[in-house]
Amino acid sequence: MKAIEKKQLPRAGIKKILIRGTNWIGDAVMTLPAVASIRATYPEARLAVLAKPWVADIYGLFSDIDEIILFESRFDSPSGVFRLAGKLKNENFDAAILLQNAIEAAIIALAARIPLRAGYDSDARGLLLTHSVKRTKAVKQVHQTLYYLEMVKALGCVPVSGDLRLKDRIDPAEARKTAGKFIPGKKDLLVGMAPGATYGAAKRWFPDRFAKVADKLADHFPARIIALGGRNDVATAREIAQAASAPLINLAGKTTLREAIHLIAQCDLFISNDSGLMHIAGALNIPTLAIFGSTNPITTGPLGDRSVIIRKAVSCSPCLKETCPKDFRCMALISVDEVFDEARKLLSEKKGSLP
């Protein structure tokens, strides 16, 4: 990849840095190496992340930041943006590093009178930044973890690994306590499913097929199966639970993100659409089976040594659309048997004595 044009931030004189986090769970996971690079470059600085409430636990659990500033719903208006900027102005930040691509992030940093404002020149915001990084065609084609790392690298931050190995940051006792709260009785194997996807229906495999995979897994393994997701996934998870013959514990909409993370950390297998929970499972190095349709696994595939992607190379994919304008063939061609066979391989590798 061609080197990105650099305008580096100074190393000296920066004592307080505001990092504008990304707005979605999966994106937040993929920014973690970039946050680690900022921390490694400025080990003595105070780092604060400005983040939406629903991604705050990603930065709180998995990064070495000092403070999370919540971008609450009361700031989601033109007047609210400037109220937030006034709040940030009082914090006297020396620099803002904007991982989010939107112009709003640059407007807030400028209105907060933060003297150094750095980020990609996306969304026509280059003139609002003191340190603008050119977002090249090449950098938009790499995995998102590298996309964010290339930005901070151009700003002079030290290189760090793009690998995500987050399992060590999970408290085993808290994870076990969370599992005990939501999953009654003794479990042998735990299989998690994430049938939702925030961006749109084009990322979602069919609920009836998730249900059939759940039944086949229950027939072949001593497995407990849980469905996870947010409030928008409740109906989909309920449909799966009703269609499945095997008992399925539907936890969609019933957990916090922190609780969902600790449940995923207990899983022996995680089956998911391209979603934020998929990225969490991959980053925790849980055996992860990721079903891709409209999106591009090259740029947003799960990381981790035990992640497997199922995708059909149809001519219209990746279209990156929210809803399919055609016949949804990218998902229709993925069969129950194909997903089950890959799931069986992953479970059998983990539990070698099982069938």
pLDDT at position 187: 64
Mean pLDDT of 77-82: 94
**N-to-C CA span, the chain:** 45
The CATH architecture assigned to 167-350 reads: 3-Layer(aba) Sandwich (3.40)
Mean pLDDT of 68-97: 96
Contact 154, 27 (CB under 8 A): no
Q: Residue 35, Cβ neighbours under 10 Å: how many?
A: 25
pLDDT tens, residue by residue, 216-259? 999 999 999 999 999 999 999 999 999 999 999 999 999 999 99
Instruction: Round to whole Å and give the CA distance between 321 and 340.
Output: 27
> Does pLDDT of 5 surpass 70?
no
**16-154 and 167-350 in the same fold:** yes
pLDDT at position 41: 98
pLDDT at position 324: 77
Confidence of residue 6 (pLDDT cuts 50, 70, 90): low
Q: What average pLDDT does the chain have?
A: 92
Which residue in the block uniquely carries the two structure tokens 């709003």?
104
Instruction: Give percent above pLDDT 70 in the chain.
Output: 96
Which residue in the block uniquely carries the two structure tokens 């940093």?
109
Mean pLDDT of 300-329: 86
> CATH code for 16-154?
3.40.50.2000
pTM: 0.93
pLDDT at position 355: 43
Confidence of residue 348 (pLDDT cuts 50, 70, 90): confident
pLDDT at position 202: 80
The ranges assigned to domains in the chain are: 16-154, 167-350
Order of strands across the sheet that contains 116-120 = 67-70, 46-51, 16-20, 95-98, 116-120, 131-133
Mean pLDDT of 42-50: 98
DSSP state of 34: H
DSSP string, 224-293: EEEE---GGGHHHHHHHHHH-SS-EEE-TTTS-HHHHHHHHHT-SEEEEESSHHHHHHHHTT--EEEE-S
> Does pLDDT of 178 surpass 80?
yes
Instruction: Round to whole Å and give the CA distance between 270 and 66.
Output: 31
> Does pLDDT of 164 surpass 80?
no
Tell me how far CA of residue 3 lies from CA of 132, 135, 142, 324, 326, in angstroms: 15, 11, 13, 36, 38
Give the contacts of 242 (CB within 8 A, at least 6 positions apart): none
pLDDT at position 3: 47
Contact 252, 227 (CB under 8 A): yes
